[in-house]
Amino acid sequence: MTVVVAGGGLSGLALAGHLALEPRWHGRVVVVDDGRRPLDTVAWSSWADRPGPLDAAVSSAFDRVRVHVDGRTRTLPLGRYRYLVVRGTDLDRVVRALALPLGRFDFRRGHVDRVVGPPGRTRVVVDGEEVAARWVFDSVLGPPEPPPVDARLVFRGRRVRTARPVFDPEAPTLFDFRTSRAGPAAFVHVLPFSATEALVEHTAFAPPHGPLPGVDVQRAALAEHLADVLGAAEWEVLHEEGAVLPLSAGAVPRRRGDVLAIGTPGGMVKASTGYSYQRVQRDSAAVARSLVEHGHPFDLPAESARHRLFDGALLDVVTREPRQLERAFAALFRGCSAEPALRFLDERTSFAQEGRLVTGMPVGVYLRAIRRRMRE
């Protein structure tokens, strides 16, 4: 049996890694990527409360985070969680070290044009050449009818080196709302590599339609944060990255014939946060398990409709009333530990726990948003 993984980014590498670690899997795996987004330019942050099978790719791990909300800066322990950073090149290195010695994994450079053929005779067209596949895992083309976009996550990050120490290398800043309140809801995220080097990122939740924060606007916000908030007099920009990520709390039609959408096209981006790394890992493990236990990749855990509703309501509220984002995060992270909030964002809380967490939010605002979504 041959499976083709379309895309060699986070989701493609994760799935290849989990298949390589599955001793009951003996099929051939072809991973196809066109290299448009070099892996040395990407990294993923996440939080986890237990070890993962691909943790050898983790380059940094933190046991506390900093937040600044409602005019107050706090450093919060993570309890059983750790905040992890994985660089693209490290994940690629770890997965290839697991997969290539098996002799059944092929990492190809090429552009996936389309998927053709009826179920049972599916072929992936790569640069005009057809590759036969029993199953196709697609992180490139996406479903033909994706769910509506509820918001757009607009981020711009700069890896900077400052002339003097201004960063705390022991604690990333998860969110800091000391940035312009004009325009969409926004905050600044700081991922430190040392006391003088960090990724400083401006993140905005923009409505699904209409103008977006411009590159110059976000660069100015980053410069203001470095100078006025962190006190950096001089800095050098080592690398810059930016993207616009569509966020949707709707259910994704992942299957079409012998094709399963994975990664971002498969709905693995958490709509209320934009994080995806751990969701992709859990999904990859479930796909590998389904393949070996059922002979197909579709026996996957059901999504939480309740948490999709929560995510959709939050996006509805903060895109209509941008200042509500800070109020929501203040409620979630008001305790002495960040663990309860992270567990909620992991969709691993009970309804009672969720009720306690959201105390302090404007209940009427969110109930109206929920009613709007239920009518859609």
pLDDT at 372 over 90: no
Containing 194, the helix (H) or strand (E) segment is none
Query: Residue 151 in 3-state DSSP?
Result: strand
Are residues 210 and 256 both part of a single domain? no
pLDDT of residue 181: 85
For 80-91, write each residue's pLDDT tens digit: 999 999 999 999
Compute the distance between CA of residue 366 and CA of residue 161 in angstroms, rounded to an integer.
41
Which residue has tokens 């044009």? 113
Residue 80 lies in a domain: no
The percent of residues above 70 in pLDDT, for the chain, comes to 100
Residue 46 lies in a domain: yes
Residue 74 lies in a domain: no
Please answer whether residues 98 and 20 qualify as being in contact, where contact means their C-beta atoms are separated by less than 8 angstroms: yes
Are residues 312 and 173 both part of a single domain? no
The more confidently predicted of residues 354 and 190 is 190
Residue 17 lies in a domain: yes
The domain tally of the chain equals 3
95 pLDDT tier (thresholds 50, 70, 90): very high
Compute the distance between CA of residue 353 and CA of residue 344 in angstroms, rounded to an integer.
8
Are residues 268 and 142 both part of a single domain? yes
Are residues 105 and 170 both part of a single domain? no
Q: Are strands 28-33 and 105-109 parallel, antiparallel or unpaired?
A: parallel
Are residues 277 and 333 both part of a single domain? no
For 191-200, write each residue's pLDDT tens digit: 999 999 999 9
Compute the distance between CA of residue 338 and CA of residue 81 in angstroms, rounded to an integer.
9
Are residues 143 and 216 both part of a single domain? no
Angle separating helix axes 305-320 and 324-332, nearest 10 degrees? 140
Report field, pTM of the whole predicted structure over 0.85: yes
pLDDT at 233 over 80: yes
pLDDT of residue 363: 83
Query: What is the number of other CB atoms lying within 10 angstroms of the CB of residue 263?
Result: 27
Are residues 264 and 142 both part of a single domain? yes
Q: What is the mean pLDDT of residues 31-55?
A: 95
For 310-368, write each residue's pLDDT tens digit: 999 999 999 999 999 999 999 999 999 999 999 999 999 998 898 888 887 888 898 88
* Cα-trace Rg, the chain: 21
pLDDT of residue 364: 87
For 260-284, write each residue's pLDDT tens digit: 999 999 999 999 999 999 999 999 9
Q: What is the mean pLDDT of residues 205-233?
A: 96
Distances (CA, A) of 2 to 13, 124, 134, 325, 331: 16, 11, 6, 46, 48
Domain that holds residue 229: 151-246
pLDDT of residue 145: 87
Query: What is the number of other CB atoms lying within 10 angstroms of the CB of residue 131?
Result: 19
* Token pair in block for residue 196: 């003088």
Compute the distance between CA of residue 332 and CA of residue 324 in angstroms, rounded to an integer.
12
Containing 5, the helix (H) or strand (E) segment is strand 2-6
Kindly report the average pLDDT of the chain as a whole number: 95
For 135-156, write each residue's pLDDT tens digit: 999 999 998 888 999 999 999 9
pLDDT of residue 373: 80
Report the helix count and the strand count for the chain, using DSSP H and E: 9, 19
Are residues 41 and 187 both part of a single domain? no
Are residues 279 and 136 both part of a single domain? yes
Compute the distance between CA of residue 108 and CA of residue 98 in angstroms, rounded to an integer.
16
pLDDT at 375 over 80: no
The percent of residues above 90 in pLDDT, for the chain, comes to 88
pLDDT of residue 351: 86
Compute the distance between CA of residue 10 and CA of residue 86 in angstroms, rounded to an integer.
10
Closest alpha carbon to 319 in 247, 220, 219, 374: 247
* Token pair in block for residue 92: 């690629």
